Amino acid sequence: MILFYTAIFFLPIFFLGCFPSPNIQNSSAKQIGPSLINLAQDFNVTKPFFIDGGTFSISRDGVMYFVDSENKFVVRKANLQAPEASSEFINLNEWLKKDNLQDFEIDDLWCDSAGRVALAESTTGKILRISGDARKLENLADSYDGYRLTKIRGLAGNQEGQIFIGTPNAATMYEFDPVSGTLNVINEELIRPNDFSMELKGDRLLVAESEPNRIVVFEMNSIRNVHLGWDLIQFPTPLNEPISLDLMDNNNHLAVLSQKGLSLLVFDLSDGVIKKHYNLPERCLRVRYERGWFYLLTDRGIMRIINSSG
């Protein structure tokens, strides 16, 4: 086990294995001094927002899909090279029938390799998949064993069509099986997920979890069944709870939001160290990394910061 201390946290973070192999261990402790980028002081907070929107996902071809900031039932899209030219992608009011007076609200969304968008709608518990041209909507799931899915936090999948769904209120993670069209429970222990990130090959799923505060890795076997789960990183206190995460640079680095969304940590997964620590100008709820930029969701919109060299 690699055990290292950092003055940023005042308490030890336990790095329990390097990535990609869970079997690499090192008994010696390391004193880590990550580069500190204090964006709370240096960042231009007068116009920090890249897009006025809510929760988001970025496709492989550089298109951001995001929930409209005012209408939580609308998904918009924008090319990262021209974010000001956003357009409506789908309006759930035009596709779904309301059971009551409550408006539809999208909890999470994820773009697959085929250009489709999967989203979780909280009032109905539906997991929906929309074609890239927004002309087809599929209801993949809305309940398990007769119980409607509740608040969704964590939605990701792989090129095989599997979609993983996190429900922290029920302390459960599900897998949508594209062959049978059914949901399966994949966690054997209670898991309270905050966010997911899928390894590029689609055979490892990283989960940011609360209570305990840790990053968990779930591995799939050759037929894409989850057969192994292990802790990658443990955080010492609720203050350090991992809120969101995203794999970077062909899985060599991992971005993690911590300290109630005010810190962005970059872990070097091959060496088992914290590489960088960004003090953020305001509380962030989600991080996604794309082509040298961190995209960060806040209560007021989506901002981006460039990944500093070094």
**What domains, with CATH codes, occur in the chain?**
2-306 (2.120.10.30)
**Is residue 220 very low, low, confident or very high in pLDDT (cuts 50, 70, 90)?**
confident
List, for residues 246-279, the tens digit of each pLDDT value.
999 878 899 999 999 999 999 998 888 888 899 8
DSSP-assigned beta bridge partners for residue 264: 257, 278
Sheet with 63-68: strands ordered across? 53-58, 63-68, 74-79, 87-91
Radius of gyration, alpha carbons of the chain: 19
Q: Which residues contact 42 (CB under 8 A, 6 or more apart)?
A: none
Q: With 50 as the cut, is the pLDDT of residue 8 above it?
A: no
pLDDT (tens digit, 9 = 90+) per residue, 21-43? Answer: 433 233 232 333 445 556 555 44
Q: What is the pLDDT of residue 41?
A: 52
Measured distance CA(220)–CA(276) in Å, rounded: 30
**What share of the chain in percent tops pLDDT 90?**
52
Q: How confident is the model at residue 85 (pLDDT cuts 50, 70, 90)?
A: very high
Average pLDDT score over residue span 83-90: 95
pLDDT value, residue 146: 85
How much is the mean pLDDT over the chain? 83
Output the pTM of the full model. 0.86
φ, ψ of residue 282 to 5 degrees: the values are -160, 170
Average pLDDT over residues 192-211: 91
Q: Does residue 138 carry a pLDDT above 90?
A: yes
